[in-house]
Amino acid sequence: MAIVTSTEMFKKAYEGGYAIGAFNVNNMEIIQGITEAAKEVSAPLILQVSAGARKYANHTYLMKLIEAAVIETGLPICVHLDHGDSFELCKSCVDGGFSSVMIDGSSRSFEDNIAVTKQVVEYAHAHGVVVEGELGTLAGVEDDVKVSAEDSSYTRPEEVEEFVTRTGVDSLAIAIGTSHGAYKFKPGTKPQLRFDILEEVSRRLPGFPIVLHGSSSVPQEFVRMINENGGNMPGAVGVPEEMLRQAARMAVCKINIDSDLRLAMTGTVRQYLAEHPADFDPRAYLKPARENIKELVKHKLIHVLGCDGKA
């Protein structure tokens, strides 16, 4: 197997009523944990790299680690730029061997979003690379972007046909009430997603793959490990897994997960070091962290995304 685009993955996922997991990667242990899980349950994968991940780990290191994972697992893996904010960044990832890029023009005006997305699509398609666009703005925090709840906005279904037709994008991220990070809904309130918007978007774009960002469920076992071992994350709450499962049965073909991996890694490391205060070998605490990422991802692939056995 080689690095592939998401075209075939999305076609099968749409028809099969499941979704592909798009997991953010920043280092070797995260890549190993995710890809070992996918290998065990034979799931197709999208590994995504943010601008922050590229700054942290370097494009070439991440690319070579992912190439190693393809060799080790024999899985179809799509390598995707997460939240590209400019043509130049997207071009650099296309030139550097990614098979998919996201151009996130969601904070621009509708016309500016169309213009930059179209420019990226033209360049990417000429190089055999697929493109994800975004309409609607998610709340939350990424490395380079902070969007407050007041500035977030749901996707307007009446805009999606024009956006997709004029840009030529291969998939579309929409905002239906999820947000980035570990604080998605007010603790004690019932999490709500606008499935009516998702339904209306898919009615207007039949067969077209939709993407859901901000899809971590924020497992409370890892939040507890963090809070009991010197951390401070009261009120961290995520998207209920049954809602993600429902979205995966609908037109959502790609579900983005990053915060859950961070929680699994950090919770495990904090707990390990609290229990073994004299240990100073990084392998000692990174090994259980990698193992917990693997277990978390296996759970997502089987019980949330439903893509086990689909590689």
Kindly identify the residues of this chain, within the stretch 264-303, that bind ligand G3H according to CB under 6 A: none
Of 32-40, 45-53, 57-65, 121-129: span binding ligand G3H (CB under 6 A): 45-53
Binding residues for ligand 13P restricted to 241-260, rule: CB under 6 A: 256-260
User: From Zn ion, ligand 13P, ligand G3H, none, which one binds at residue 215 (CB under 5 to 8 Å depending on kind)?
Assistant: ligand 13P
Q: What is the 3-state secondary structure (H, E, C) of the chain?
A: CCECCCHHHHHHHHHHCCCEEEEECCCHHHHHHHHHHHHHHCCCEEEEEEHHHHHHHCHHHHHHHHHHHHHHHCCCEEEEEEEECCHHHHHHHHHCCCCEEEECCCCCCHHHHHHHHHHHHHHHHHCCCEEEEEECECEEECCCCEECHHHCECCCHHHHHHHHHHHCCCEEEECCCCECCCECCCCCCCCCCCHHHHHHHHHHCCCCCEEECCCCCCCHHHHHHHHHCCCCCCCCECCCHHHHHHHHHCCEEEEEECHHHHHHHHHHHHHHHHHCCCCCCHHHHHHHHHHHHHHHHHHHHHHHHCCCCCC
Stretch that binds Zn ion, among 12-20, 64-72, 211-219, 230-238 (CB under 5 A): 211-219
Q: Tell me the two tokens of residue 223.
A: 């939040």
Residue 267 interacts with, from Zn ion, ligand G3H, ligand 13P, none (CB under 5-8 Å by kind): none
Residue type for position 32 = Q
Answer yes or no whether residue 54 interacts with Zn ion by CB under 5 A: no
Q: Is 82 a catalytic residue?
A: yes
Report what 137 binds from ligand 13P, Zn ion, ligand G3H, none; CB cut-off 5-8 Å by kind.
Answer: none
- Is there binding between residue 100 and ligand 13P (CB under 6 A)? no
What is the closest distance, in whole angstroms, from the C-beta atom of residue 270 to Zn ion in the complex? Answer: 25
Kindly state whether residue 306 participates in binding ligand 13P, applying the rule CB under 6 A: no
* Residue 134 partner contact from ligand G3H, ligand 13P, Zn ion, none using kind-dependent CB cut-offs of 5 to 8 Å: none
The 9-28 contact track toward ligand 13P, x by CB under 6 A, reads ---------------x----
80 contacts ligand 13P (rule: CB under 6 A): no
Please choose, out of 46-54, 109-117, 128-136, 227-235, the segment that lies near ligand G3H by the rule CB under 6 A: 46-54
CA distance 273 to 267: 10
- State the catalytic residue, choosing from 82, 258, 260, 308: 82
Interface mask (CB under 6 A) for ligand 13P, residues 31-60, using x and -? ------------------------------
Phi, psi (deg, nearest 5) at residue 134: -140, 140
List contacts with ligand 13P (CB under 6 A). 24, 82-83, 180-181, 213-216, 256-260
Which residues lie near ligand G3H (CB under 6 A)?
24, 50, 52-53, 82-83, 142-143, 180, 258
